[in-house]
Amino acid sequence: MKKYDYLVVGAGLFGAVFAHEAAKKGKKIKVIEKCNVIKLSI
């Protein structure tokens, strides 16, 4: 069983930025997204 520091549900703007910043700090991240195409709207 793999272990992660954070589980991010949704790869929208917040989820993607959070996952990126946490990964830069050495955290293990798992991102779950229901769509197979990530759409960022601003």
Alpha-carbon span 21 to 13, nearest angstrom? 12
pLDDT digits (tens, 9 = 90+) for 1-42: 999 999 999 988 899 999 999 999 999 999 998 887 766 665
pLDDT at 40: 62
For the record, the structure tokens of 40 come out as 């960022």
Of the candidates 2, 1, 3, 42, the residue with the CA atom closest to the CA atom of residue 16: 42
Q: E strands along the chain, which residues?
A: 6-9, 29-32
Which residues on neighbouring strands pair with residue 6, listed in sequence order?
A: 29
pLDDT at 12: 86
Q: Which distant-in-sequence residues (6+ apart) come within 8 Å of 37 by Cβ?
A: none
State the pTM of this model.
0.77
